Amino acid sequence: MIKKISYSVLIAILAAIAGASVVLAENPSSPKHAPDSKRALVGQVLAVSAEQLQVESPNGESHSIALTAETIFRSRQGEPGEPASFSDLEVGMWVAVFQKGDSRGSSSAHLVVLLPADFDPSSRRGKCTLGEIEKINPGQLTFQLLSRSGERITLQVDEGTRFTGGVHSFDELEKGMRVAVCAVTSEDNTLLARWVAAKSENGSGLQKTGGKISQVGDSSITILNRQGDEQTFVITEATRFGSRQGEIHGLEDLETGLVVVILHQPQQDQAVAVLVADQALLKTQRMRGSVQSAGGKHLTIIVGDEKLEFEVDDHTRIRGHGIQDLNDLKNGMQVLVFYIESEDSWLAKGILALPSRTP
């Protein structure tokens, strides 16, 4: 069966995933841009909205990261440290994202770095990974990491290595500790750790619920989600508010009809944060599949045993490593299509060529 796809607005949530090595080299002593991170992640942008970034890491995991008015943007696509802005983010772009938490347990992007267009995540240069420490060699200042993919990696530490997340030096590393590491390859082909962070066992654990505000109370808001269910959240003095334009500061600024994303603890109705989103956020859908044909103004993908056809126009963003336009998409290539559905067609607002999986 062939279905068609319709018109609307792609809103991408970045998300995500940032690498420390590309940033620390800029000015490691500058407190202004040295993030108090819980984690740093590197990945490819799946979607971007005014309030969030969604990123897929090289191992295929998807991460959603909150953006705030305090989020700093930097570019590695031109001169080192070149200023960037939210508007420079594009679906398919590789980014490094530093996240920080606060006393209320919520987290957001402190720093987003736009990586070079030719960034290769499979290269040892600029490698970031998560894993468990298997061995420590104090005499040589090295440790061996077992990554989540089963790869054993030996990393060198020097005086320029930055430690965060509960560890402050090489001496505090322990066998069995879960850490996030970003490293670069030195001239002698040694993998040099530029950033090491102990990974929290608990994490923020925040759940995200989106919907349209149907009622605003004295100390609560009720939202209507896409499934038609209503849910009420309690607003306290600790609840923080955010919006792209910065015009939302508290409960008194909210009104019915606004689309919001609520961050809260699972199974709890107390809002940790209320982020006002674009109306199109709840309309955009996504579909993952393999390319059957691409060209002209159409893209056909295979999902299971079904063929799905999408319309492509001049505003469709097509991104991926080595991908510039629709003609670069090859049969069998895995893609993620962002689209909006109308009565008679589906219009692709974004097409992301996914990294190939190597056995």
| CA–CA gap between residue 233 and residue 72 (Å, rounded) | 30
pLDDT in tens, 112-156: 888 777 666 655 445 667 788 999 998 889 999 988 777 889 999
Given this model, what pLDDT does residue 3 score? 42
- At residue 326, the 3 state secondary structure works out as helix
Torsion of CA 73, 79, 80, 82, to 10 degrees: -20
Given this model, what pLDDT does residue 142 score? 93
Model confidence at 51, pLDDT cuts 50, 70, 90, reads confident
How far from 359 is each of 13, 219, 356, CA to CA, in Å?
A: 29, 53, 10
Q: Among 3.75.10.20, 2.40.50.320, 3.90.1150.10, 3.30.300.210, name the CATH number for the domain at 2-7+283-353.
A: 2.40.50.320
Say whether pLDDT at 283 is over 50: yes
| CA–CA gap between residue 27 and residue 74 (Å, rounded) | 12
Q: What is the mean pLDDT of residues 240-259?
A: 78
Report residue 349: phi and psi, to 5°.
-95, -20
DSSP label at 6? B
Given this model, what pLDDT does residue 22 score? 31
Location of each CATH 2.40.50.140 domain in the chain: 21-114
How far from 225 is each of 7, 222, 259, 270, 340, CA to CA, in Å?
A: 22, 10, 9, 17, 17
| CA–CA gap between residue 50 and residue 320 (Å, rounded) | 22
How far from 155 is each of 131, 145, 165, 199, CA to CA, in Å?
A: 12, 8, 18, 17
Given this model, what pLDDT does residue 232 score? 92
Say whether pLDDT at 272 is over 80: no
| CA–CA gap between residue 154 and residue 140 (Å, rounded) | 11
Q: What is the mean pLDDT of residues 207-236?
A: 86
Residues shown for the chain: 359
Q: What is the mean pLDDT of residues 171-178?
A: 87
pLDDT in tens, 66-115: 888 788 888 776 554 456 778 788 888 888 888 776 555 556 888 888 87
**Most confident of the following: 111-115, 213-217, 263-267:** 213-217
Q: What is the CATH number of domain 21-114?
A: 2.40.50.140
What value does the mean pLDDT of the chain take?
73
Is residue 37 within 8 Å of residue 128, measured between CB atoms? Answer: no
Given this model, what pLDDT does residue 96 score? 83
Location of each CATH 2.40.50.320 domain in the chain: 2-7+283-353, 127-198, 207-281
Say whether pLDDT at 203 is over 80: no
| Contacts for 113 with CB less than 8 Å, ≥ 6 apart | 18, 19, 22, 23, 73, 74, 75, 76, 95, 96, 97
Q: Which CATH class is domain 207-281?
A: mainly beta
| CA–CA gap between residue 150 and residue 143 (Å, rounded) | 16
* Angle, vertex CA 340, rays to CA 334 and CA 345, nearest 5: 90
More confident residue, 280 or 191: 191
Say whether pLDDT at 56 is over 70: yes
The answer to whether domain 127-198 has CATH 3.30.310.50 is: no
